[in-house]
Amino acid sequence: MTQLLKKLILVPLLLLLVPCVWAGERYLIGFAQDTLGNDWRLVQVRDVERELSRYPEVDFIYTDADGETALQAQHIEDLAARGVDLIITSPRDQELLTPVIERVYKQGIPIVLLTRSINGEGYTSYVTLDNYAIAQAAARYLVEKLEGEGHILMLEGVSGASTTLARTQGFMDIIDNHPAISVTSARGNFLRADAILAVSDLLDRGETFDAIYAQSDSMATGARMAIEHAGMNPADLPIAGIDFITEARDAIKEGKQSISFTFQTGGKEGARLAMQILRDEEVPKKVVLDSIAITRENVDQVEPIF
């Protein structure tokens, strides 16, 4: 066969093959995020984006509600109106965002919840960790460190978020069994800056405490900064946090934080669930990821989530 003939046969074959590469169905996935002003939430979006980049048939968009529940609700409705094939979201407020998420879900748009839930089951799948059990473990740890008596400062996350509610309830359900331990609560909103302000305000008013339970490591970092600014040493009191970020790892190694519980973003798992849903595969209603308690004994054996 001559070279010219080979080329004449090969070109039509290539033309037939090229459309096959692009002929598959495309999907648009939208992530209505609570805020990108929190580094953990930003990493969560990036984790979803990284996993979805493995699927060339997927276009991914996301929104930033800047910590405003009403704006997050609007973003969810906007994504639905835009015609996305699936919505991923981490609801800032469990109760207030239930109606809009349920309404979109009933319209036939699959919903994947990441780490935060709503009331009822108006969603397709939910990826989380056991916040209640983690909080109980943190409480037991501090009870042991305090030998059953003392004053604990609890830095709470975002008001109304399911994570905050569970991390408070689980902790208090243990502490309530120890009448010699008292708890002061302060709002830190999962942010370093807010935790700095909250702890600084308490210290300025002469408040003292024997241990700190921070519902995120970002808040634990803020608490340490406030304590050091006041001329005290955070190594002098047990501090428990959640997430296990790099700052927590370093603080644990330096003796300035006692324990952290890993809390991955669930972004990779949520993205994989999204693809299963779009391909009409069965998925579980709830996926619970594992958490590990990190102390000085195993701090070098586990990588921080960021």
- Which are the contacts of 253, defined by CB distance < 8 A and separation ≥ 6? 296, 299, 300
Q: What is the pTM (predicted TM-score) of this model?
A: 0.91
Domains annotated for the chain, with CATH where assigned, are: 24-128+265-289 (3.40.50.2300), 131-264+296-301 (3.40.50.2300)
Length of the chain: 306
pLDDT at 23: 52
Distance from first CA to last CA of the chain, Å, rounded? 60
pLDDT tens-digit profile of 15-67? 333 333 345 799 999 999 999 999 999 999 999 999 999 999 999 999 999 99
pLDDT at 117: 98
Mean per-residue pLDDT, 7-21: 37
pLDDT at 24: 75
When mean pLDDT is compared across 9-23, 75-89, 114-128, the lowest value belongs to 9-23
pLDDT tens-digit profile of 207-230? 999 999 999 999 999 999 999 999
Assess whether pLDDT exceeds 50 at residue 5.
no
pLDDT tens-digit profile of 225-255? 999 999 999 999 999 999 999 999 999 999 9
Mean per-residue pLDDT, 78-107: 99
pLDDT at 11: 36
pLDDT tens-digit profile of 117-149? 999 999 999 999 999 999 999 999 999 999 999
Rounded Cα gap, residues 240 and 130, in angstroms = 16
